[in-house]
Amino acid sequence: MEVIVLASNRSLLLIFLVFVSLLSIKVTHVSAVNYTKTHRQVSTLRVERIRNHLNNINKPPVFTIQSPDGDVIDCVPKRKQPALDHPLLKHHKIQKAPRTMPKMVGKERSDDVKEAASVLEGAWQMWHVNGTRCPKGTVPIRRNTLDDVLRAKSLFDFGKKRRSIHLDQRTEKPDALGTSGHEHAIAYTETSSEIYGAKATINVWDPKIEQVNEFSLSQIWILSGSFVGPDLNSIEAGWQVSPELYGDNRPRLFTYWTSDSYQATGCYNLLCSGFIQTNNKIAIGAAISPLSTFNGNQFDITILIWKDPKLGNWWMGLGDKTLVGYWPAELFTHLADHATTVEWGGEVVNTRASGRHTTTQMGSGHFPDEGFGKASYFRNLEIVDSDNSLVPVQDVKILAENTECYDIKSSSSNEWGTYFYYGGPGFNPRCA
C-alpha cells in the first residue's frame, strides 16, 4: 500500500485539493432564493426512473416526523436502512457499538476558561424541536424528494461529488490552484505514522450562498491512498450549506465516503448504500440548530471518527459519548487498514456565475484575524494512534489557495490545544 508523507511532498496535497475541486461544477443562472424550482420540464420516463430510485432509498417507515423546517424524517427499522442494500454488505451483521472507544491522553479540558466560557456545546437538529424521537430499533432518515433529485445534474450524480475530467487528462502539477472552482482553507497532518482516526470541535454558522450550485462546508477528511490515482479512500463528516443538495440554505450535519477517488463509489449521507446508522436520535442531513451568532454565543459540535481496532469499522461519534453509526470496513481498500492523512477545514464552490468571484461565504463569512465570536474555528484537534489513543495534534500545516477571499490562521493554547480560525466573505475589494 502506498503511504503518503505530506512532510516530504506537500505538492501531493495541493494536487488532491485541485482534484477534489474538479468535482461538481455546473454553472447555472438561478436565483439563490428559489432553490427548489430550478429544473426544467423533464420527460415522463426520467420522472419514472427517479421515482423508482426514490422508492429504493426512501425505505418504508414505521413512524414519520414533520420537522418545522419542512423536512420529513422517516423512522426506518434499523435492519431495513439503505446501507444494507450494498452488495458487499449482503451478509453484514450490524455492529451495535464499537468494542472499545479511543483512550484519552493528557488532561481534560476545564470549563472555566475565559475564551471558551461563551461556547455553548450541543448544537442539535431542528426536527428535535417538538420533542418527538424515533422509536428504539429504528433510525431517523431524511426523506428525499423528486425536487431533490431534479436539482442534480443527473440521477447518477445525485448525492455525489462529481468529477469533470478523466484522471489521464490531469497534470501532475496544476497551473493554478482554485481555477476549478473549489477553494479551501485547511489544516493537515504532517506525519508518517499510521492514523486510525481524528477529532475536532467546530462551531456552526449559516454562511450565505450566492448560487444554487455552490456550497460551503466545514469538515474532517480521513484519507488513504494516492492523491493522483484512482484509488483514493476518503471518509468525511462535518456541517455544510448546499442548496443543490437540500433545497435550502440551512447548515446540516453531513457525511461522505468514497473508495475510488470519487469516481463511482460513495455518496453524501444515506443517499446510497454504505454508511450504517445506529442512532435513533440523530438524522444525517438534517438541519443543525441553534447556530453561532456574530459577537454572541458560539454553538459547536464535536466530531470523532475512528477505526474500531477489533472489527475494523470506522465509527462516527458526536460529542463525547454519542455514537451515530459507522462505515463498514468492507467498503474500503486502503482504509481497510489505516489512514495516512487527516485534514480539517473549510471548502466552498466559486462558479463565477456573475463574472466575478462568488459572494458565497466560508465559515462565518469573516476572516480569521477577527478571532473568537466573529470567525469560525476548529479547536482541540486530535488524532487516534495505533494504540487507539486520542493524541493532541502538536503541529499542523495550513493551506489556503486564495487568502484574499478565504484564509486560515493556526495557534495553540492549554485549553484549546491546536486550533485555527478560518473563513472569509468571498468577493470583496481584494477578491475579485
Active site residues: 236, 347
In terms of Cα–Cα distance, which of 320, 288, 24 is closest to 162? 24
Q: Which of 162, 207, 159 lies closest to 32, judged by CA? A: 207
Instruction: Give the separation between CA 16 and CA 4, rounded to whole angstroms.
Output: 12
Length reported for the chain: 432
Which residue, among 374, 348, 368, has the nearest Cα to 411 in the 3D structure?
368
The answer to whether residues 94 and 278 touch, using CB atoms and an 8 Å cutoff, is yes
Question: Beta strands of 41-98 (E only): which ranges?
Answer: 63-66, 72-77
Q: What is the distance in angstroms between the CA of the first residue and the CA of the last residue of the chain?
A: 42
Eight-class DSSP state of 355: S
Beta bridge pairs of residue 63: 75
Cell 466575478 -> residue: 356
Look up residue 173 and give its three cell numbers: 502539477
Cis peptide bond prior to 61, omega within 30° of 0: no
Compute the distance between CA of residue 241 and CA of residue 231 in angstroms, rounded to an integer: 28
Dihedral class, residue 131 (left if φ above 0, else alpha if ψ from -120 to 50, else beta): left
H or E segment to which residue 12 belongs: helix 10-21
Alpha helices in 235-394 (DSSP H): 243-246
* The three cell numbers locating residue 319: 460529542
Q: Is 347 helix (H, G, I), strand (E, B) or coil?
A: strand
Answer yes or no: are the C-beta atoms of 75 and 138 closer than 8 Å.
yes
What is the dihedral sign for C-alpha 226, 228, 229, 232?
Answer: positive
What residue has cell string 430499533? 137
Any alpha helices (H) in 265-310, and if so which ranges?
Answer: none
Quote the Cα angle for 381-383-386, to 5°: 165
Q: Give the Cα separation of 86 and 94 in Å (integer).
A: 13
C-alpha cell of 300? 459547536
